[in-house]
């Protein structure tokens, strides 16, 4: 194992002379950690998380996604990977955001259970067994709940409480702490959730459309030791806008024409009725219409109804393309540090060499 060395008040990762770890083809746990400018935290993260994972008696891997860090984070991550190949590193070409980083981690994860956490040391790795206990009980998603948060009340906790309340009421997924990154997912859930923008905090709500089961457990919230928070009050407003997107996808992702068509038909009918009334007053009662703005309003409502309904039809085609994805990613990777594949054992080599060849002409095995 590696150890920490203290120099001039700072900690650095000291690598062993030879660190060898075997990579199992069957991995129980994948820990996905998005990281951005956390150079000073990496050595501590490696020590704390490794100690917690080693006590589980399960095979694991750690996937750290360097989201375009501008400091020495990647250098420190490279040292960690050299010390322990189970710590895999994905390096983005630029900063794509936490959602893209988590998506890259989900795509690369090979474990039956995926755990997400932050790299700033505020999530406590010793809470991971709590999450796994609930997963073992049969839940698909287990979310951490930071009951005793260490952030300032008015600038961080109050906006978070408000946002969590609104999200829970709007989506019907009642969690106390959507913003807590420490969560556990079954792999069939994490790898089938499509994310973009800043929707990472809505994963439980988005996954609810798949019929998943979820719960939450109280977790420890530690004070940030290094650097400063990457979030501010503006995040609250972005969360509200993302909530509108989530609500649309949850309720109308497979039938957008229902909402657009309803509004469009309602507008068209009001315009049609108003036009019929104006035609009656002009043709039957003989009243002039040149000085009545109601005629313009009626025409506008009719055209608006047609346009909104047409938008719904276009949205139907867009949703069809959404549900038939072309495999496009929302990120680009500069490089990836990964353990080399395990060589085949002699018995496996002999098994492959002894397989009968397939003749496409005769469709019969040839020895």
Domain ranges, ordered by start, for the chain = 15-252, 256-323
Phi and psi angles of residue 329, each rounded to the nearest 5 degrees, phi first: -95, 155
Q: Please answer whether residues 219 and 146 qualify as being in contact, where contact means their C-beta atoms are separated by less than 8 angstroms.
A: yes
Q: What is the pLDDT of residue 263?
A: 92
Which backbone phi and psi does 108 adopt, to 5 degrees? -90, -15
- DSSP bridge pairs for 227: none
pLDDT at 9: 44
Which residues make Cβ contacts (< 8 Å) with residue 304, sequence separation at least 6? 264, 267, 268, 271
Contacts of 327 (CB under 8 A, 6+ apart): none
- In terms of Cα–Cα distance, which of 238, 249, 239 is closest to 167? 239
Which of 128, 118, 139, 144 is closest to 50 using CA atoms? 128
pLDDT at 365: 44
CA dihedral 330, 45, 38, 155 (to 10 degrees): 90
pLDDT computed for residue 335 by the predictor: 75
Strand duo 60-66 + 87-92: pairing: parallel
| DSSP SS3 for 214 | strand
Residue 242: partners with Cβ closer than 8 Å, 6 or more residues away: 197, 198, 199, 201, 202
Short-list 321, 341, 105, CA closest to 200: 105
Q: Is the pTM of this model over 0.85?
A: no
**Chain centre distance of CA 302:** 41
pLDDT for position 118: 96
Report the candidate in 134, 105, 127, 100 with the shortest Cα–Cα distance to residue 33.
105
The alpha-carbon radius of gyration of the chain (Å, integer) is 28
Rounded Cα–Cα distance for residues 50 and 128 (Å)? 12
Q: How far apart are CA 103 and CA 107, in angstroms?
A: 6
CB-CB contact of 48 with 79 (8 Å): no
Which residue ranges in the chain fall short of pLDDT 50?
1-11, 14-24, 351-352, 355-367
CATH class, 15-252 region: alpha beta
pLDDT at 165: 92
Give the CA diameter of the chain: 100
Q: Is 76 helix (H, G, I), strand (E, B) or coil?
A: helix
φ, ψ of residue 62 in degrees (nearest 5): -120, 125
């Amino acid at each position: 194992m590696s150890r920490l060395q203290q120099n001039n008040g700072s900690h650095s990762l000291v690598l062993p002379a030879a660190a060898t770890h075997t990579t199992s083809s069957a991995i129980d746990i994948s820990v996905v950690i998005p990281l951005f400018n956390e150079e000073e935290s990496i050595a501590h993260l490696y020590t704390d998380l490794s100690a917690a994972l080693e006590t589980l008696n399960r095979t694991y891997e750690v996937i750290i996604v360097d989201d375009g860090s501008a400091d020495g984070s990647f250098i420190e991550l490279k040292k960690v990977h050299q010390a322990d190949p189970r710590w895999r590193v994905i390096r983005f070409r630029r900063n794509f955001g936490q959602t893209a980083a988590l998506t890259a981690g989900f795509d690369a994860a090979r474990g039956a259970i995926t755990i997400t956490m932050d790299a700033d040391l505020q999530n406590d790795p010793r809470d991971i067994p709590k999450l796994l206990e609930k997963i073992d009980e049969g839940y698909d998603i287990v979310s951490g709940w930071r009951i005793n948060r260490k952030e300032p009340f008015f600038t961080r906790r109050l906006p978070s409480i408000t946002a969590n309340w609104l999200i829970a009421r709007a989506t019907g997924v009642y969690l106390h702490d959507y913003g807590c990154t420490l969560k556990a997912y079954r792999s069939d859930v994490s790898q089938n959730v499509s994310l973009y923008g800043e929707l990472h905090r809505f994963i439980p709500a988005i996954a609810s459309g798949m019929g998943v089961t979820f719960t939450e457990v109280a977790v420890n919230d530690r004070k940030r030791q290094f650097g400063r928070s990457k979030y501010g009050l503006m995040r609250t407003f972005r969360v509200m806008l993302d909530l509108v997107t989530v609500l649309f996808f949850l309720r109308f992702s497979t039938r957008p024409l229902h909402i657009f068509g309803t509004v469009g038909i309602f507008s068209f009918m009001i315009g049609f009725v108003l036009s019929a009334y104006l035609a009656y007053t002009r043709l039957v009662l003989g009243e002039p219409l040149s000085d009545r703005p109601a005629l313009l309003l009626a025409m506008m409502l009719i055209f608006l109804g047609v346009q909104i309904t047409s938008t719904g039809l276009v949205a139907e085609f867009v949703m069809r393309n959404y549900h038939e994805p072309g495999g496009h990613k929302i990120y680009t990777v500069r490089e990836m540090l990964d353990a080399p594949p395990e060589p085949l054992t002699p018995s496996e080599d002999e098994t492959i060499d002894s397989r009968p060849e397939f003749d496409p002409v005769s469709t019969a095995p040839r020895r």
